[in-house]
Structure 1
Amino acid sequence: MAKPSQNGTSRGADGPVHVLHVTDSHLFAQRTGRLLGLVTYDSLTAVLAAAAAEPPDMVLATGDLAQDGTAQAYAHLAEAFSGFAAACPLPPPVYWLPGNHDEPAVMRATLTCAPLRPETEVVVGGWYIILLDSTVPGEVGGALSEDELARLDAGLRAHADCPALVCLHHNPVVTSARWMDDIGLANADAFFAVLDRHPQVRGVLWGHVHQAIDLERQGVRLMASPSTCIQFKPETVEFGLDPSAPGYRRLWLYPDGRLETRVFRISNFAGCADPDATGY
């Protein structure tokens, strides 16, 4: 197992570590590429501009960062995050993981320049944060391989004294958008079996569902965040879009293991998705 990155921050040294969670940006090789009518590069940069008003200590980007998995799409992603970092007094590192629309090999080859970081685990402010790959080649739904489950178990065991935040792309719990449940994490029971062996786990964070979720399971906070582009309609059986604006989540991780979080939406964004779309 690779040694976790040690990312000390001035804010995390005497207070909470401030984490920005962004997910599901769905960028294209063409910067003007649209997802159901929405220019996804524009919505991502609008989200990052809003988030830069309160600069975080670090960023977690949890998959489907590209829609077409091309090197050029990831170049646009790197450009957007470089601009974001330049707007922050202390450029925050950006840790990422793949989603089902991504090409992990292309990501590893292209997302190599600061502020983007390749590490899949980090210790910051006394917290252990691990990023998992829940993608299955050729599938929309996800699952954690035996190797990833073993890596999770070993990482939590090695950092038993640190409160932990576990990140992945696919939803490990059912949602109110029932059509998403068939393409969530197929082996969620195995995932939670690992977590249940490690009482220091404080939170699980994911994307994929394009909506805000905040639940609790056995004292563990379970959180999904809005997409930086289109939003999926809750309380549905079939695919539908929600008119809510693109968004992001902030988390504050305290040295004593407390976790606070809040979802934000951008305002005054002119772009909008096709309300009559039946899928993508």
Structure 2
Amino acid sequence: MAWFDDKHTFNKSVLRIAHVTDCHLFADKDGEYFGVNTASHFEQALAHMAQKPLDCVIFGGDLTQDHSFGSYLLFSELIHKSALTCPVFWLPGNHDEITMLNRISGGQINSAKHIAASGIELLLINSKGPTPAGWVTGAHLDETTECLVQSSSKKIIFCHHNPLPINGYLDKHMLENGPQLLNVLVNSGNIIGVFHGHVHNEYEQSYRELSVFATPASSTQFKKYSAQWQQQNCGPAYRMLYIDTEKDKIGMKTEVVWLNG
């Protein structure tokens, strides 16, 4: 099955989406990532999101820190034990194994990478490369291009790695062919935003007038604009997207939710 063949459709013109990313779980629920209990932070984010009338959650990658299947099972357990009732879609981060993500998929955890509603489509791109840095293969770029031209609907893109430098330590592990991907997206003429994780903080950039948004981690943040890798426990965070296609012009609003803010 090709990456975008599995499609999920919402029969509505207004979408409320939460983007949560980089939970870095361990098999041990008490595991800590730079002094942060990542399972507790993820639970807090899930509980907060469950209070909102969400249509779906998109998990932006780096589920695991210890690379154990137990961490994937904990991710599934925390979602199913939460009050969250909407579907949770996922895309892989550099820490993740797609085979393990597929093993926990089913029911509420949905493996679809092409999400459609009235007048809008969401595409979840695979930026996992052979190293911690990101890479979108030529075949996947072709798949993406084909999906972009199949309909005239406006589209929103999600990937894990930052396609643009953030002037920080994580640039050494950014999406190495990010400009190539962004040019494909811009040239299609129907992309209204790109959202990614990986950088563990909030950023807003643009590329040829295309808005590119980074969502902070649910686990811990990395200090912005620092050449050194510095961690900051700012509490859990996620991003909300509000999409309205009822009017002639599609509207999209987004905001970061800091639970300790």
Establish whether TM, by shorter chain, passes 0.5: yes
Listed as ranges, the matches of 1:126-137 within 5 Å are 126-137=119-130
Listed as ranges, the matches of 1:141-156 within 5 Å are 141-156=133-148
Task: Write the distance in 2 (CA, Å) between the matches of 1:56 and 1:218.
Answer: 31
Task: Write the distance in 1 (CA, Å) between the matches of 2:68 and 2:97.
Answer: 7
What TM-score results when the alignment is normalised by the length of structure 1?
A: 0.87
Contact in 2 for aligned 1:134/1:185 (Cα 8 Å) = yes
Listed as ranges, the matches of 1:218-257 within 5 Å are 218-255=208-245, 256-257=249-250
Paired residue for 2:108?
A: 115
> What RMSD in Å do the two structures reach over aligned CA positions?
1.6
Task: Write the distance in 2 (CA, Å) between the matches of 1:192 and 1:7.
Answer: 25
Paired residue for 1:185?
A: 175
Percent identity over the alignment is 27
Contact in 2 for aligned 1:4/1:123 (Cα 8 Å) = no
**Structure 2 residue 203 is the aligned partner of structure 1 residue 209:** no
Report the Cα offset of residue 31 of structure 1: 1.4
CA offsets 1:13-51 (integer angstroms, 9 cap, x no match): 4xx210100000001111111111111111000111112
Q: Which moved further from structure 2: 17-26 or 127-136?
A: 127-136
Report the Cα offset of residue 113 of structure 1: 2.5
Partner SS for 1:135: coil
Paired residue for 2:64?
A: 66
Paired residue for 1:53?
A: 51
Contact in 2 for aligned 1:71/1:107 (Cα 8 Å) = no
Task: Write the distance in 1 (CA, Å) between the matches of 2:49 and 2:109.
Answer: 17
In structure 1, stretches of 5+ residues that fail to align are 269-280
Task: Write the distance in 2 (CA, Å) between the matches of 1:4 and 1:171.
Answer: 25
Task: Write the distance in 1 (CA, Å) between the matches of 2:41 and 2:73.
Answer: 16
In structure 2, stretches of 5+ residues that fail to align are none
Q: Which moved further from structure 2: 200-209 or 128-137?
A: 128-137
What letter matches 1:170 in structure 2?
Answer: H
**Structure 2 residue 152 is the aligned partner of structure 1 residue 166:** no
Contact in 2 for aligned 1:64/1:101 (Cα 8 Å) = yes
Contact in 2 for aligned 1:212/1:263 (Cα 8 Å) = yes
